[in-house]
Amino acid sequence: MKMVLGIPNGSSYDATIKLLNKVGISVFENGRQFKGEIKGVDIFKEAIIMRPQDIPEAVADGILDCGICGWDCVVESGKEKELVKIAELWYGKKTRNAVKIVVIGKEDKLRDDPDVLVAAEFKNIARTIFKRAKIRFSHGGTEQKVAYTKKYDYGVCVMETGRSIIENGLKIVKVIMKSPMVIIAREKSKEIEQFAALLAGGLEAENYVLIKMNVDQESYLSVIPVVQALKSPTINDLKNGGMAIEAVVRKRGIADLVILLRQKGATGIIVQDINFIV
C-alpha cells in the first residue's frame, strides 16, 4: 500500500523541495488543493503540503504516514513520545545547520516572575523555561515585538543565522534547543528508513565530489597517496599501459588537490558533483 508524505510549507518548503529534486523525486502540486503527485519514488501515492506545526499531529492521527518538519514542531505538539524520529536532516532555509529555539531579550539576564511578559512562537516550549511569566503566542516578527514595544520582556523564536536578532539590538539570553529537520512516522518501516537514507545521502553528497584522472605507471605511486578517498579508489587499466582512477573525495580543498595531482603527473582530471551518497 502506497503512503502519504507530509511536506512543510512556509520557509522550509523550497529547501525541502530542492532536496527531494536532488535525489530524483519531484512533487507536482495540484493548484490550491495543497496536495501533490509524487514522481520518482514508488512508496508514496501523494504528498500533502501543510503547516509544519500541524505535521506531527497529522502523522499521529494517521492522516500522514510520515512527514518532514522541524523537531521543534514535534516537541511543541507534545507528540515526541508517540512518534518515531526516523532521521535528522541538517538543512534550513538558508544554511545546512539546524535552527535553534532561543530566548531573546534586551538584557542578558533571564527573569521569570508574574510581571514578565513573553512573546512566544512556541508556547509549550517557552513554558519549559518560563514557569511563572505570562506567555502570549507570537505569529512571527518576534524580534520586532521585543525590540520596539514596551510590552514584551522576552521572546521565544527560531534562529537560523541570528542576523535579525543582532540587527534589532537584541541579545540571545538562552538557547533552549537545536531543531534539525526530521522525518517522523508512527512506526519504523524499511521503506521509510530507506527514503530517509536517500535524503540524508543527498545532504551528505554536498560535501564530496567525484574525481577522475589518468596516470601512467611512473606517476601511479606518487598519485595514490594524495587521493584521500571516502572509500578505496576505483582503478582500471588503460590500453596504453596507464591507469584510470576514480575516487569520491571531500569538496573542501578540491582546487589544491587538483593542482597537486597535476604536479604528481595525473592527466585528464575531471571533477563532478554528486547527487547523493547511500
* Domains of the chain by start residue, with CATH: 3-96+180-188 (3.40.190.10), 99-179 (3.40.190.10), 208-273 (3.30.70.120)
The C-alpha cell of 115 is what? Answer: 510581571
DSSP the chain: --EEEEEE-GGGHHHHHHHHHHTT-EEEE-TTSSEEEEES-TTEEEEEEE-GGGHHHHHHTTS-SEEEEEHHHHHHHT-TTTSEEEEEE---SSSSS-EEEEEEESSSS---STT-EEEESSHHHHHTT-SSSEEEE--S-HHHHHHH-SS-SEEEEEESS-HHHHHTT-EEEEEEEEE-EEEEESS--HHHHHHHHHHHHHHHGGGEEEEEEEE-HHHHHHHGGG---SSPPEEEE-TTS-EEEEEEEESTTHHHHHHHHHHHT-EEEEEEE-S---
**Comparing C-alpha atoms, which of 191, 197, 184, 193 is closest to residue 276?**
197
Of 147-151, 184-188, 250-254, 261-265, which gets the smallest average pLDDT?
147-151
195 alpha carbon, distance to own chain's centre: 15
Alpha carbons 135 and 116: distance in angstroms, whole number: 8
pLDDT tens digit string along 65-89?
999 999 999 999 999 999 999 999 9
Position with higher pLDDT, 29 vs 234: 234
Give this prediction's pTM: 0.86
- pLDDT, residue 136, reads 96
Going by their DSSP bridges, the two strands 208-215 and 243-250 should be labelled as antiparallel
Residue 216's identity, in one-letter code, is D
- pLDDT, residue 195, reads 97
Mean pLDDT to the nearest integer, 122-146: 95
What backbone torsions phi and psi does residue 131 show, to the nearest 5 degrees?
A: -85, -30
The C-alpha cell of 169 is what? Answer: 539590538
